[in-house]
Amino acid sequence: MHGKSCYSLGQYAEAVLAFQESILLQRTFAATDSEKEDLGISLHDAASSFRALSKYTEANAAATEALEMNHGRVFEHCDSAPDFELCFVCQRGMTRQSLGDGQSPLPLS
């Protein structure tokens, strides 16, 4: 919640910190819980924040992991829904699906 608020206010560095903290905690829970949706959403949101900071390597890593956790599909809880083309992460998922390849990372634009 804090990360999303910071992102909405354009405070991307603070958003990244909040998402990273959330991801650390959720990785602990995901190790013992088969439901990993919250971790995927946090990775999705962190990727967008990294991209806003022009940290493309980190954005790509977070986006790739988020998409892998979500089986290459767009995220229902994405703030850009239903226009997923506005979301950097979900747009990559849509492109992968249209290419028929959910495995290969796509370049950041």
**Can you give the residue range of the structural domain that contains 34?**
2-99
80 in any annotated domain:
yes
pLDDT of residue 61: 94
Q: Helices 37-52 and 56-69: crossing angle, nearest 10°?
A: 160
Instruction: List per-residue pLDDT tens for the chain, 109 residues long.
Output: 799 999 999 999 999 999 999 999 888 877 776 557 788 889 999 999 999 999 999 999 999 999 888 887 778 777 777 776 678 788 877 775 555 544 444 444 4
104 in any annotated domain:
no
48 in any annotated domain:
yes
69 in any annotated domain:
yes
Query: What does pTM read for this prediction?
Result: 0.77
Q: Under a CB-based contact definition with an 8 Å cutoff, are residues 62 and 74 in contact?
A: no
How many structural domains is the chain composed of? Answer: 1
Structure-token pair, residue 81? 């829904």
